[in-house]
């Protein structure tokens, strides 16, 4: 199974096991009791996120307990994703409540490949089922669990050169100006993305022609914004081949590289851009 999700502990959800009647003593009251606390996003990038599910687990016995086994099955958007069976347990102190954490790594590309048509969703539903085995004073007890919820997803904005044209060409003065149209697409369906600290470099046919900074840019959910970048050139520095391509409006390889921060609902996420496209000069 892919390592898209790494589970180091387990969600506990209280359930009952049928016990015989022992003089009115309800042994089901002495099962470990569990209360879900929260799901916390620990680390996030556009490849995936690290999350932790926190639970409070109460041991009602006046002696320490140890979980002897657990089995789990994880589904995302209704599709089986991961299962496991482990004897590694947790210790519960006598008559005390412990914090149990379930850390997980979710890799978006693996999830999308497995689940299918969820590219348009900003959240994924999960279901986690299984059972835990405890050694207790009443004997071995299996505690089933069944938890549902959602985890957020992030989609990196698409940033790519779309068109390049001659705005000014003055060979006698050895200068020219090109305009590069840069398309910025926000693939999120419900959240606007703001892009800042946008430093970029542009190469034409392998030759660096511009380093610059793009002003802060906000792109609404599911839309594309176009920014036009002027490129002022000294023809003497370009070489004959590139000057000829500009003059005759031939295709050139346009490379756009950038580093920026993208403000999302989960915080500001760094993004590196490395795009090369072949465009005919207009």
**Of the candidates 181, 157, 161, which has an alpha carbon nearest to the alpha carbon of residue 254?**
161
| Neighbouring residues of 245: CB distance < 8 A, sequence distance ≥ 6 | 205, 251, 252, 281
Report, as an integer, the average pLDDT of 148-171.
Answer: 92
* pLDDT score of 131 more than 70: yes
- Residue 208 is predicted with a pLDDT of 96
Checking if the pLDDT of 281 tops 90, the result is yes
Highest averaged pLDDT of the listed ranges 16-25, 95-104, 165-174: 165-174
The label of the residue with tokens 């209360």 reads: 35
Q: Which of 200, 207, 217, 182 is nearest to 273 (CA)?
A: 200
DSSP state of 189: S
Q: For the residues 149-158, what does the mean pLDDT come to?
A: 88
> With contact defined as beta carbons under 8 Å apart, do 48 and 105 qualify?
yes
Q: What is the pLDDT of residues 213-226, one digit of tens each?
A: 998 999 999 999 99
pLDDT of residue 163: 98
Residue 88 has what pLDDT? Answer: 63
User: 106, 133, 131: which is closest to 11 by C-alpha?
Assistant: 131
Phi-psi region of 4 (alpha: psi -120 to 50; beta: other; left: phi over 0): alpha
- Residue 129, pLDDT > 90, answer no
| 192 vs 222: CA distance, rounded Å | 8
Q: At residue 157, does pLDDT exceed 70? A: yes
- Confidence check: pLDDT of 9 > 60: no
The structure tokens listed for 264 are: 């999302």
State both tokens at 217.
Answer: 């840019």
Comparing 21 with 132, the larger pLDDT belongs to 132
Q: Please determine, for residue 188, whether its predicted confidence score (pLDDT) is greater than 60.
A: yes
Residues 6+ apart with CB under 8 A from 85: 69, 70, 71, 72
Per the confidence metrics, is the pTM higher than 0.95? no
Model pLDDT for residues 62-116, shown as the tens digit of each residue: 888 887 777 777 788 888 877 777 666 678 788 888 777 777 788 888 888 887 6
| Contact between residue 134 and residue 143 where contact means Cβ atoms under 8 Å apart | yes
Mean pLDDT of the chain: 82
Residue 7: its pLDDT value, please?
32
How far is it, in rounded angstroms, from Cα 198 to Cα 110?
Answer: 29
Domains in the chain, ordered, with CATH? 27-152 (2.60.40.10), 158-280 (2.60.40.1470)
Residue 269's pLDDT band (cuts 50, 70, 90): very high
The rounded distance, in Å, linking the Cα atoms of 22 and 40 is 42
59 pLDDT band (50/70/90 cuts)?
confident
Q: Which of 193, 171, 174 minimizes the C-alpha distance to 184? A: 193
Distance CA 263, CA 194 (A): 5
Q: Is the model's pLDDT at 164 over the cut of 60?
A: yes
Q: Which residues pair with 34 in a beta bridge?
A: 57
Map residue 187 onto helix, strand or coil: coil
- What is the distance of C-alpha 163 from the center of its chain? 30
Q: Is the pLDDT of residue 18 over 70?
A: no
């Amino acid at each position: 199974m892919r390592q898209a999700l790494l589970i180091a502990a387990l969600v506990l959800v209280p359930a009952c096991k049928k016990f015989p009647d022992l003089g009115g003593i309800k042994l089901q009251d002495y099962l470990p009791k569990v209360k879900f606390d929260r799901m916390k996003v620990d680390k996030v990038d556009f490849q995936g996120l690290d999350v932790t599910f926190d639970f409070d687990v109460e041991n009602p016995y006046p002696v320490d307990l140890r979980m002897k086994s657990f089995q789990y099955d994880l589904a995302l958007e209704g599709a089986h994703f991961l299962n496991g069976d482990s004897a590694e347990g947790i210790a519960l102190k006598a008559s005390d409540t412990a914090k149990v954490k379930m850390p997980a790594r979710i890799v978006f590309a693996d999830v999308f490949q497995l689940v299918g048509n969820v590219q348009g969703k900003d959240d994924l539903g999960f279901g986690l089922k299984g059972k835990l085995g405890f050694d207790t004073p009443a004997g071995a007890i299996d505690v089933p669990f069944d938890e549902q919820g959602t985890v957020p997803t992030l989609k990196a904005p698409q940033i790519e050169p779309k068109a390049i044209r001659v705005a000014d060409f003055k060979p006698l003065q050895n200068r020219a100006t090109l305009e590069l149209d840069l398309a910025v697409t926000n693939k999120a369906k419900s959240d606007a993305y703001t892009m800042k600290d946008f430093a970029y470099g542009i190469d034409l046919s392998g030759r660096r022609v511009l380093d610059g900074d793009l002003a802060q840019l906000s792109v609404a959910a599911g839309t594309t914004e176009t920014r036009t970048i002027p490129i002022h050139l000294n023809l003497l520095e370009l070489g004959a081949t590139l000057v000829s391509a500009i003059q005759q409006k031939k295709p050139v390889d346009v490379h756009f590289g950038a580093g920026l921060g993208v403000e999302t609902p989960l915080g500001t996420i760094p993004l590196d851009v490395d795009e090369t496209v072949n465009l005919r000069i207009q």
